[in-house]
Amino acid sequence: MCGIVGLFLKDPSLEAALGRMLTDMLVTMSDRGPDSAGIAIYSEAVEDRAKITIQSAHPDQDFAALEADFKSTFQQSLALQRKNSHAVFEIAQNQVGELRARIRRAHPGIRVMSTGDNIEIYKDIGLPKSVAERFDIPLMKGTHGIGHTRMATESAVTTMGAHPFNTGPDQCLVHNGSLSNHNSLRRQLQREGVVIETENDTEVGAAYLTWKMQNGSSLGEALQSSLDDLDGFFTFVVGTKDGFGVLRDPIACKPAVMAETDQYVAFGSEYRALVNLPGIADAHIWEPEPATVYFWTH
Amino acid sequence: MQIIDLDQTDLRQANAQLQNQNTATKLTAWQILNPKGAHAIAVGLDAPIDVTVEGSTGYYCAGMNKQARLRINGSVGPGVAENMMSGTVIIEGDASQYAGATGHGGLLVIKGNASSRCGISMKGIDIVVHGNIGHMSAFMGQSGTMVVCGDAGEALGDSLYEAKLFVRGAVKSLGADCIEKEMRPKDLAEVQALLERAESTAKPSEFKRYGSARKLYNFDVDHAGDY
């Protein structure tokens, strides 16, 4: 199973309510996946600043150590905005590479959930309601967002196995389905030097898209080629800096419903996820076609 | 008119009320409010009652229906009227995957589009779709009739037995052992009758008939590549 929701706002007056609407949508999908939940929210960027979301199982000590390290490296303080096991912060674009290298080298307990200008990713074990409350998701503003609730099939129930997966700066992927060639594809990508951290099938899908884009594909092209290179079942929803996209495999047995009004484009694994959206009674509602890339941008 | 508001009534209770009606019931008109995409609405009915659902439903609406006449004023999720035995189910909107799957009898009408696997393994049900149907529709259809006023997706009627298929628009591709057949006077009459019952004004003469070539009924090593 697994449940996916997505909301792309066209009407800026709804931006203050994005977190609340997306949380409500995801909570209705709870019985499609009780294992873990996650949300990616895109909000306004700060000029020349990168936004990074991190996570740790021991956030008190790990985040304090990172702050100390940052201070000694850059002679600046790192303004962490702590949210439970996660924290988000903004740093200068030219500090990102060095900071990520230091996290990898010296802070093994810290996982980078997302990097980009606009994106924040929060995910953890538990039901959507509990996970969303843990990170104050209902209070978050933004332009668009994606949520996922997981019924684990291909790998363990862990925070890192939760969706969304950050596929590149400001990009993320959520998945309903199961990939059957993820082991061979993981080995192939690892030979290409791609770092894959878990046994999770979707992480391989995410790494595949990242790798395609690093080699010159646009996101649309990467999604198109995934139809040939990924074997298995998938309904994917991807988030980008200024938009979101939907792709279903050619068999299309994993459900998907879309709704569009003048105010938003919304995605749900089921219609239930969409019923409380404003103006849904008059929305254009349809099921996305198999093997067809859909995309909306601001 | 009996009204069940799913904002106030538990779904199991609502279904139990409907399922408790029998052939002699005097409560023949029912309306269900606020379905809000809930699953398994009005399943397992077995009484000559009229049920109207005011809104869109989730999985398996009207599953296993017998005798009852349902009208859904909205769209339906996967598996509508799955394994229907008799009665009528009319969907005013679209239907998701495997509408009418394994149905043994009765009439299923979808006034919008149906997606993939419509009428998969149909066993006697009649299905009329005013719009288009998706890929792998009528896969292994054994009997019954499917009338599609729009287009059909890939692999229509793959591994078909004796279900009869009529499509007005384009067929993206035919499945293994499904072929186009001649439209005979009795086929025109059958399509006409079904279109009328399905509240469609399409003209039977515009439809093409598809059916089984009957080459895959029994294993034949010469056809190994087709299985």
Q: Are residues A89 and A176 in the same domain?
A: no
A54: tokens are 């991190």
Residue of B nearest to A254 (CA): B97
Beta-strand relationship, B69-72 and B88-91: parallel
Domains annotated for chain B, with CATH where assigned, are: 2-215 (2.160.20)
CB atoms under 10 Å from CB of A226, counted, come to 19
Active site residues of A: 2
Question: Which DSSP category does A292 fall into?
Answer: -
In whole angstroms, what is the distance from residue A13 CA to residue B120 CA?
A: 45
Most B-contacting residue of A271, A285, A286, A292 (CB-CB within 10 A), to test interface: A271
Q: Are residues A261 and A192 in the same domain?
A: yes
Q: ipTM score of the complex?
A: 0.92
Which residues of chain B have a CB within 8 Å of the CB of A272? 36-38, 58
Residue A70 belongs to domain with CATH number = 3.30.70.3400
Indicate yes or no: CB of B37 within 8 angstroms of CB of A285. no
How many Cα atoms sit within 13 Å of B138 on the Cβ side? 40
Find the helix or strand (DSSP H, E) in which A3 lies. Answer: strand A3-9
Q: Are residues A279 and A131 in the same domain?
A: yes
What is the mean pLDDT of each successive set of 10 residues along chain A, which is 298 residues long?
Answer: 96 98 98 96 94 97 96 94 97 93 95 96 97 98 98 91 91 95 96 90 93 90 94 95 93 96 98 97 95 92
The alpha-carbon gap from B113 to the nearest alpha carbon of chain A, in Å, equals 9
Low-confidence stretches of chain B (pLDDT < 50) are: none
Indicate yes or no: CB of A275 within 8 angstroms of CB of B116. no
User: Position B193: which residue type?
Assistant: A
Which residue in the set A251, A255, A275 is minimally distant from B78, CB to CB? A255
Question: Which residue, A89, A117, A145, sits at the end of a domain?
Answer: A117
Which residues of chain B have a CB within 8 Å of the CB of A286? 94
Q: Are residues A150 and A73 in the same domain?
A: no
Nearest to B144 by CA among B81, B185, B183, B100: B100
Q: Is A138 inside a domain boundary?
A: yes
Tally of structural domains, chain A: 2
In whole angstroms, what is the distance from residue A22 CA to residue A30 CA?
A: 13
pLDDT of residue B211: 98
Residue of B nearest to A277 (CA): B36
Q: How many residues comprise chain A?
A: 298
In whole angstroms, what is the distance from residue A222 CA to residue A292 CA?
A: 13
The alpha-carbon gap from B149 to the nearest alpha carbon of chain A, in Å, equals 19
Indicate yes or no: CB of B116 within 8 angstroms of CB of A290. yes
How many Cα atoms sit within 13 Å of A224 on the Cβ side? 6
Q: Are residues A134 and A103 in the same domain?
A: no
pLDDT of residue B227: 62
Question: Which residue, A59, A84, A117, sits at the end of a domain?
Answer: A117
pLDDT of residue A293: 94
Indicate yes or no: CB of A272 within 8 angstroms of CB of B58. yes
Which residues of chain B have a CB within 8 Å of the CB of A290? 116, 134-135
Q: Is residue B115 a contact partner of residue B135, using CB atoms and an 8 Å limit?
A: no
Residue of A nearest to B35 (CA): A272
User: Position A47: which residue type?
Assistant: E
CB atoms under 10 Å from CB of B10, counted, come to 9
3-state secondary structure A28-97: HCHHHCCCEEEEEEECCCCCCEEEEEEEECCHHHHHHHHHHHHHHHHCCCCCCEEECCEEEEEEEHHHHH
Q: Is A29 inside a domain boundary?
A: yes
Which residue in the set A250, A272, A286 is minimally distant from B37, CB to CB? A272
Q: Are residues A132 and A79 in the same domain?
A: no
The alpha-carbon gap from A259 to the nearest alpha carbon of chain B, in Å, equals 12
Which residue in the set B37, B115, B135 is minimally distant from A287, CB to CB? B115
Residue B204, preceding bond cis, omega within 30 degrees? no
CB atoms under 10 Å from CB of A255, counted, come to 24
Indicate yes or no: CB of A255 within 8 angstroms of CB of B116. no
Q: Are residues A233 and A279 in the same domain?
A: yes
The alpha-carbon gap from A270 to the nearest alpha carbon of chain B, in Å, equals 7
Residue of A nearest to B133 (CA): A289
In whole angstroms, what is the distance from residue B155 CA to residue B135 CA?
A: 6
Which residues of chain A have a CB within 8 Å of the CB of B96? 255, 257, 287
Indicate yes or no: CB of B115 within 8 angstroms of CB of A252. yes
Q: Is residue A177 a contact partner of residue A54, using CB atoms and an 8 Å limit?
A: no
How many Cα atoms sit within 13 Å of A8 on the Cβ side? 23
The alpha-carbon gap from B187 to the nearest alpha carbon of chain A, in Å, equals 31
Which residue in the set A251, A252, A270 is minimally distant from B58, CB to CB? A270
3-state secondary structure chain B: CEEEECCCCCHHHHHHHHHCCCCCCCCCEEEEECCCCCCCCCCCCECCCEEEEECCCCCCCCCCCECCEEEECCCECCCCCCCCCCCEEEECCCECCCCCCCCCCCEEEECCCECCCCCCCCEEEEEEECCCECCCCCCCCCEEEEEECCCECCCECCCCCCCEEEECCCECCECCCEEEECCCHHHHHHHHHHHHHCCCCCCHHHCEEEEECCCCCCCCHHHHHHC
Nearest to B178 by CA among B214, B125, B146: B214
pLDDT, one tens digit per residue, over B66-83 is 999 999 999 999 999 999
Q: Which domain holds residue A242?
A: 3-44+127-297
pLDDT of residue A158: 93
Q: Is A216 inside a domain boundary?
A: yes
Indicate yes or no: CB of B37 within 8 angstroms of CB of A271. yes
Nearest to B72 by CA among B96, B50, B89, B53: B53
Q: Is A122 inside a domain boundary?
A: no
DSSP-derived 3-state class of residue A257: strand
pLDDT of residue B217: 78
A136 phi and psi angles, rounded to 5 deg:
55, 35
Q: Are residues A212 and A108 in the same domain?
A: no
Q: Are residues A86 and A170 in the same domain?
A: no
Question: Which residue, A58, A88, A117, sits at the end of a domain?
Answer: A117
Q: Are residues A23 and A132 in the same domain?
A: yes
